[in-house]
Structure 1
């Protein structure tokens, strides 16, 4: 469950962690700063999380809970392929709206945390040792399963196919956040949509049907309101200390 108002020290620390992460990046995540945000001593971090490693894992979990709420808000239609693509666009919107949190969730900006949450998705059927992380993958799996059931994809390894779509949107988002596709969202039209259609055709869909599904969920505007995609070559400011210090 996401954090609500009037919660105790543990929840307030997580709320402060998410706020600091988005404002100042992962370098701001240290016990002293977190404790000061809620008017407590650093002991509160160790009391409720056992230390910063425990806090990092809890923050990752809470970040995925919030992400999961977004995914569950995506309405289901009678077009499972459009629903699948809509999940991908929600993934992108979440990343663009919360870029520091997204990088942290992906393990890119969490140096020195000592937290390992991933395992072999092909062997295990899920991407993580954490249920809250897996809960964000299941809607993708279900959309793929529905698409196969109605003949929009040939019968295949559901987990593997879901992994293909996840890899597609994950890679696109990282490049977009780096400014590779410009800052006006044109990569959605010229890269992501054609990539998705080509992948769907390769998985057995008719090109015309795949294009219609992609058009049905095309984002307008291309970039979410209030979001600025950095220009290529620019760097986010790095403030504060390394995590945990």
Structure 2
């Protein structure tokens, strides 16, 4: 007898539903029956795709970082590494806005319903920072940043943009301190803090904004089947 085939769209759908239920209703909503019923499937779907609820919780975190990595890979490295680094920061924010429920699960904004993550799960998330560190190293090699630990610069970028995104998703920002203007100032300030001149930083950050639509937005629109304007 041939193995039973499953719908490939079921797994990501279950991940998204579970993340949404966690964020909107809390851990009490995270039951196999409730999650499966959202897509009209049986509870067996969770065991087929995740080997149970614990596997689903881990899959939510892994899927969240996989989607973040996808956004990062849309950034094409150019001859301006500082612009590239700023664009990675913008891609990070776009991923969070596109996947807010998964983002909350990835970083502890939603309870994991009594399940815990292992060090290997968190290490999986840290791997996504490798490309950011590589880009920071290019900034140092180009003489735009002071000689420093590229991993440290990458973590500074991560913590800075992550903090802004957390405030944005929590709806804590109000005019005139909106996320768009704060991100511009934050990116320029970070580049200057690690050694770039303000004039050069402003130029590169501005260029990254102009590249955003071409390199990242258009690609994610294509993924969703959206026609370009």
Question: Which TM-score tier does this pair reach, normalised by the shorter chain?
Answer: 0.7 to 0.9
* From 112, 118, 132, the counterpart of 1:140: 132
Quick one: distance in 2 between partners of 1:217 and 1:37? 40
Map of 1:215 onto structure 2: 206
* Shift in Å, 1:23: 7.4
Distance 1:213 1:111, change over 3 A: same
Distance 1:187 1:129, change over 3 A: closer
Which sections of structure 2, spanning at least 5 residues, go unmatched?
A: 218-229
Matched-pair contact (CA < 8 Å) for 1:82–1:213: yes
CA RMSD of aligned residues (A): 3.1
Matched-pair contact (CA < 8 Å) for 1:17–1:29: no
User: Which aligned pairs between 1:120-199 and structure 2 lie closer than 5 A?
Assistant: 128-130=122-124, 133-182=125-174, 186-189=178-181, 191-199=182-190
Which sections of structure 1, spanning at least 5 residues, go unmatched?
A: 1-6, 120-126, 225-245
* Shift in Å, 1:24: 7.6
Distance 1:118 1:169, change over 3 A: farther
Map of 2:19 onto structure 1: 21
Map of 2:68 onto structure 1: 67
Q: Secondary structure at the match of 1:217?
A: helix
Q: Which has the higher helix share?
A: 2
Q: Secondary structure at the match of 2:143?
A: coil
